[in-house]
Structure 1
């Protein structure tokens, strides 16, 4: 980990340099950012979320949902790798830090992952009548 930042919404942003040499002085420059969001009831206290099934969300997603952002550039000269990494990191911070710091970010992330998981479950539900998989939309 290269840096850990406490966000305005109380979450912690962790940034990683996962770069590695690939061949003959060339590098895969890899930046990754992560935020672990604990699934908590206080994210859903707003009146519009009174029907949220928090136990169902936790049963499907677990206690923690992880936000991940990864950006890579391949076949970078060793002399340029630090500059490229810095650009990837700064571009990420410039474009997403405000969104990630929002008080609504944890709730939005949890609900988006929950919807994705439900959709994935529906798509792979087997249709027993014909013995084949049927995909529901």
Structure 2
């Protein structure tokens, strides 16, 4: 059975307030992510200890008197295969506006425990997509 957490966070410390805009670092809500930077040729395969699947739904209320226009730029779909249905690992983030909220639905899973060295870059691009999203920000500008 999956472990499910629901919560509400009100935090003024991670949010940046400026004269005409508010910046929310939404990537922090998916948690710290590993990043694979390969400066030399990979020699060993990837071996994971366990399979994992993370589904996150983040709901951010648009502050009164502000608007968020560029949220669609945060949409991401990265798979370790050409076809999504054949993927053994993936990271996606789908960002929509629903009423007065920006909704981020992120799905990340790793079903394969072993990646041969020749498939390292397929795994690497998924890991790095999650790490890149961890630095994502939503910007709300005054109307």
Provide the TM-score with structure 2 as the length reference. Answer: 0.31
Provide the TM-score with structure 1 as the length reference. Answer: 0.32
Where relative contact order (Cα < 8 A, 6+ residues apart) is larger, the structure is: 2
